[in-house]
Amino acid sequence: MEAGFAIARGYKNTIHGALREDENNDRLAKLHDLLVEHLVAGEKMIQFVKLERGEHAKLRTWITGKRKTSNPLTDAFPGVAPVAEIVTCRHQAPSSVGTVDLSSGHAALYTASRSYVERVELPASKLKADAAAGYERLVGYRRVYVQTYEAVWLPPEGNFVCLAIDSPVGVPIQFADASLAALSHQVRSQLGRSLSFYNLWPAVEGLYRSSEGKLVDYGFSVGGRSVNHHKARRRTECLRKAVYDSAGAAAVGDDLQLFKVAIQWALRQTSSLKSEPELLIPGVAADLNRPMATVNHAFLRNSLSSRDLQFISSKLITHMK
């Protein structure tokens, strides 16, 4: 819609309809810009590196000077390469796509081939006769290869730089490790020192106690006697105000110990486009027993653009240590 293409019922019909339309350079350029924004900010694991005096300008010079390397993955930008080529590049380090100018800040964008193991249930109807005899169910495991996009995002101002690593829903937490290590190395090389990450643990309590956004998921313990998780993403009501949750919180008082929180916001991107970015800080109950609990990453879901990333960062910055 924002790029000027007609919206049909379902994304497949919309894409097929757009492909049938006459080529329009203005619409294609707008679509390209929207895709790039999403590649930087959409479905990411995020970390915030602390910057010292003068380092923001230093990183900005480095980021704006980045150039694109050429290989099957970068040649597919801003799309994805065929699976066969993704597999071929599986042992390569993340490749530079170059610098990208965003609606908020700048980013050095990288792309890589990553894989994970997926568990798949095997329907007995699709197996040879009697193959499943004696078994309640059968499962298989397959390796899935995907092309990822990661970014070193620098806001217009501030004392941090953000590492935004692809983390699709359903992949194991270790999925992001290789790209995170590669991008950390890039930033470390530019700064000439070891990296220090902001601790997001204080934001768990801070965001819960605030009136920010809609609370859609949280984890808590009651005086160390139980561990509980409450989720309500499909409801319109904020869990802070839900009868069960608010009454329970009032009843336990200071015994309520929080270790995980997810907040969702509704943001107006343009007059016709709204986003609902969600921030999840994934602490675990064991963190409550640590004298200096540390959570140095979060997950950003349903984000459309760098504006969302900028907004989320502004809500975190007052709580980060």
Q: How confident is the model at residue 253 (pLDDT cuts 50, 70, 90)?
A: low
What average pLDDT does the segment 209-224 reach?
A: 88
| Sheet containing 95-101, strands listed edge to edge, beginning at the edge strand earlier in sequence | 95-101, 106-122, 138-154, 160-166, 44-50, 298-301, 278-281, 256-264, 214-222, 227-231
pLDDT of residue 2: 56
What average pLDDT does the segment 124-150 reach?
A: 83
- Whether pLDDT at 274 is above 80: yes
Q: How confident is the model at residue 100 (pLDDT cuts 50, 70, 90)?
A: very high
Distance, in Å, from the CA atom of 32 to the CA atom of 35, rounded to the nearest integer, reads: 5
Domain chopping of the chain, boundaries: 35-191, 201-295
Q: For the segment 220-229, what is each residue's pLDDT rounded down to a tens digit?
A: 988 777 888 8
**Residue 174 phi, psi (nearest 5):** -70, -10
Q: How confident is the model at residue 80 (pLDDT cuts 50, 70, 90)?
A: very high
Q: For the segment 116-130, what is each residue's pLDDT rounded down to a tens digit?
A: 999 888 887 777 777
- Whether pLDDT at 176 is above 70: yes
Beta strand 273-275 pairing with 278-281: unpaired
Give me the percent of the chain exceeding a pLDDT of 70.
Answer: 88
pLDDT of residue 121: 86
Q: For the segment 2-19, what is each residue's pLDDT rounded down to a tens digit?
A: 555 556 565 566 565 665
Enter the DSSP assignment of 7: P
- Whether pLDDT at 174 is above 80: yes
| Predicted structure pTM score | 0.88
Q: 141-150 burial by CB neighbour count: b if 16+ within 10 A, else e?
A: eeeebbbbbb
Give me the percent of the chain exceeding a pLDDT of 90.
Answer: 64
- Whether pLDDT at 135 is above 80: no
Cis peptide before 282 (omega within 30 of 0): no
Do 267 and 311 meet the contact criterion of CB atoms below 8 Å apart?
A: yes
Q: Hey, which of 10-19, 23-32, 36-45, 228-237 has the most confident mean pLDDT?
A: 36-45
Q: What is the CB neighbour count within 10 angstroms for residue 4?
A: 13
Across all residues in the chain, what is the average pLDDT?
Answer: 88
What average pLDDT does the segment 186-192 reach?
A: 97
Do 309 and 153 meet the contact criterion of CB atoms below 8 Å apart?
A: yes
pLDDT of residue 77: 96
